[in-house]
């Protein structure tokens, strides 16, 4: 059964040369339970609500298998939160999740898959700027994007919580189908 390895919220806002001037991509795991409401995890921030956050992108999930792939590619440790994700998940192929699929985490929280992450210049700068030229394309080409989710039912989650998946309706597109379109 899939499991939540870590729930992550913003650790620190960083100056960024993008149009907003700051980024909230620096996420770190919380100790213990964290409340999840309609706009995401308590204590989290999205510096650019135009592209991140809001009700349809309240939570960003990334798979441990995908993080392990990038650890090999980049030659460094990529702990939970490094991708700017709120949830680091094990045992679930997040990129093959279908839009409309629901995840029940722990005893009360229910999330619904809405869309893929689209890599951006802020993410590229966070990854390493000049050291990782072409990062946006490389990340997209690897098809290890992660998924945004909306909050259907609020509650609390903790690392170690089981994730139960309720399938989307037959024929619903996967995260990768949406990204490819």
Domain ranges (residues) in the chain: 3-180
Task: Pick the more confident residue, 27 or 132.
Answer: 27
On the 0-12 / 13-18 / 19+ scale of CB atoms within 10 A, 17 is exposed
The H or E element that residue 113 is part of is: strand 109-116
Helix axes 64-74, 135-142, angle to 10 degrees: 130
Question: Each residue of 1-34: pLDDT tens digit?
Answer: 999 999 999 987 777 676 666 777 889 999 999 9
Would you call 11 helix, strand, or coil by DSSP? coil
Does the structure show a pLDDT above 60 at 100?
yes
pLDDT, position 49: 63
Average pLDDT, the chain: 91
C-alpha separations of 82 from 85, 116, 178 in Å: 7, 17, 24
Question: Each residue of 37-71: pLDDT tens digit?
Answer: 999 999 988 756 666 678 999 999 999 999 999 99
- Domain 3-180 maps to which CATH number in 3.40.50.12280, 2.40.33.20, 1.20.1050.10, 2.30.30.30? 2.40.33.20
Which residues face 98 on adjacent strands?
Answer: 174
Instruction: Tell me how long the chain is.
Output: 181
């Amino acid at each position: 059964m899939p499991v939540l390895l870590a729930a992550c919220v913003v650790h620190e806002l960083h100056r960024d040369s993008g149009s907003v001037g700051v980024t909230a991509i620096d996420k770190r795991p919380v100790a213990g339970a964290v409340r999840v409401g309609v706009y995401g995890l308590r204590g989290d921030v999205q510096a650019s609500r135009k592209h991140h956050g809001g009700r349809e992108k309240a939570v960003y999930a990334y798979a441990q298998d995908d993080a392990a792939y990038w650890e090999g590619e980049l030659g460094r440790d990529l702990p939970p939160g490094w991708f700017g994700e709120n949830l680091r998940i094990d045992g679930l192929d997040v990129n093959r999740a279908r839009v409309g699929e629901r995840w029940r985490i722990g005893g009360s929280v229910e999330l619904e898959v809405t869309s893929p992450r689209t890599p951006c210049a802020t993410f590229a700068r966070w990854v390493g700027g000049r050291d990782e030229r072409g990062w946006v394309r490389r990340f997209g080409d690897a098809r290890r994007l992660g998924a945004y989710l909306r909050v259907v039912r609020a509650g609390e989650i903790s690392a170690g919580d089981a994730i139960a998946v309720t399938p989307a309706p037959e024929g619903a597109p996967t995260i990768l189908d949406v990204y490819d379109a």
